[in-house]
Structure 1
Amino acid sequence: MTRAWTVHPPADDARPGLVLVPERFSWFAATLPPVWMLVNRLWWPLLGFAIFAMAAALLLPAGIAGFAGLSAQVLIGLHAQDLRRWKLARQGRPAAAVVLARDESAALLRALDGRPDWAAAEAGGRAA
């Protein structure tokens, strides 16, 4: 199955190497949102999720709070990769290209084929 990948080249002060982010649903983010956010160091979304969870638990009836929590988890799973892209853009690494490939290594090859100047950045990232 072919998947879309966004390519994020390094910023001047960032770690070298390209970052590839797939366009897909994240089961890990949907089942354990706080853990997934901690692993990916997404502090602002984690704070927002915690505030939403506390507000839902305190203000909504039990049946509706459970549905609201489940809905929030599904939305996080759907937008998990978008949250990663948002973080990369905030770090000065906005998406510079989109490639279609079966897996990450094929996506990397396509990105480097389209932009040979990224090969030096990628070589620096792999050597570090």
Structure 2
Amino acid sequence: MPVYTVHAPPTVNRQPDIAPDRFVFVRDGFYVWAFVLGPLWLLYRRLWLALLGYIALVIALTVVLGAAHSGAGARFAVLLLLATLLGLEAASLRRWTLARRKWRQLDVVIADDTEAAERRFFDRWTRAQPVTAGYQPPVDRGEPPPVRRIPMPSSSLNTDIVGSFPRPGSSR
């Protein structure tokens, strides 16, 4: 099962209110899109320093491999290893960037997918939150209240059908 870390944005002006809709769930594991489209994935996730490091590393490897007169197969293998490394460490790069931006790691959740991770986290998180003053949970009273029966006066309007449709079972 995948492991998710939950990160909360930094509080502005020391406000205790945390906006749960801004929480970020980062899945630990291999990121296929970071492997296939590394620089574009880094741009999409706004990992600027990681993108600069990736570009610098690719340029340095290209210069070193060119100076060593390596063949195209060796260059391909080295860049494939670099892409694999990026796919494996994409979650760590994302967590590192969130930590640099002063996001707090709140919890670690194990779940099948992001939706299940969110449910598990928010179930635990809401149980741990203090109850605000004046709030009382609803009381279960068992049954719904009784319904008042108001007798209707008997008339021909209540028993006969008005219009072109006769009563069922009557003669035509």
User: Which bracket does the TM-score occupy, shorter chain normalised?
Assistant: 0.7 to 0.9
Q: Does 1:36 align with 2:35?
A: no
Q: Which runs of 5+ in 2 are unaligned?
A: 13-17, 130-172
**What CA deviation, in whole Å up to 9, does each residue of 1:61-112 have, x standing for no partner?**
2343222111010000001111111111111113221011111111111111
Larger Cα Rg: Structure 1 or Structure 2? 2
Which of 88, 96, 104 does residue 98 from structure 2 map onto?
A: 88
Alignment match, 2:75: 65
> Does 2:87 correspond to 1:77?
yes
Work out which of the residue numbers 18, 22, 41 in structure 1 matches 2:23. 18
User: What SS class does the counterpart of residue 108 from structure 2 fall into?
Assistant: strand
Give the Cα separation in 1 of the matches to 2:110 and 2:56.
Answer: 37
Higher helix share: 1
Deviates further, 97-106 or 58-67: 58-67
What's the TM-score, normalizing by structure 2? Answer: 0.62
Contact kept, 8 Å, 1:85 with 1:94, in 2: the verdict is no
More RCO (CA 8 Å, sep 6+)? 1
How many residue pairs end up in the alignment? 115
Task: Check if 1:56 corresponds to 2:61.
Answer: yes
TM-score for the superposition, normalised by structure 1: 0.82
Letter of the structure 1 residue corresponding to residue 57 of structure 2: F
Task: Report the AA paired with residue 6 of structure 1.
Answer: T
* Cα shift at 1:9: 1.8
Q: Judge conservation of contact 2:3–2:109 (CA < 8 Å) in 1.
A: yes
Q: Are 2:7 and 2:103, in contact at CA under 8 Å, matched by a contact in 1?
A: yes
Distance 2:111 2:119 in 1: 9
CA contact (8 A) 1:8 1:20 kept: yes
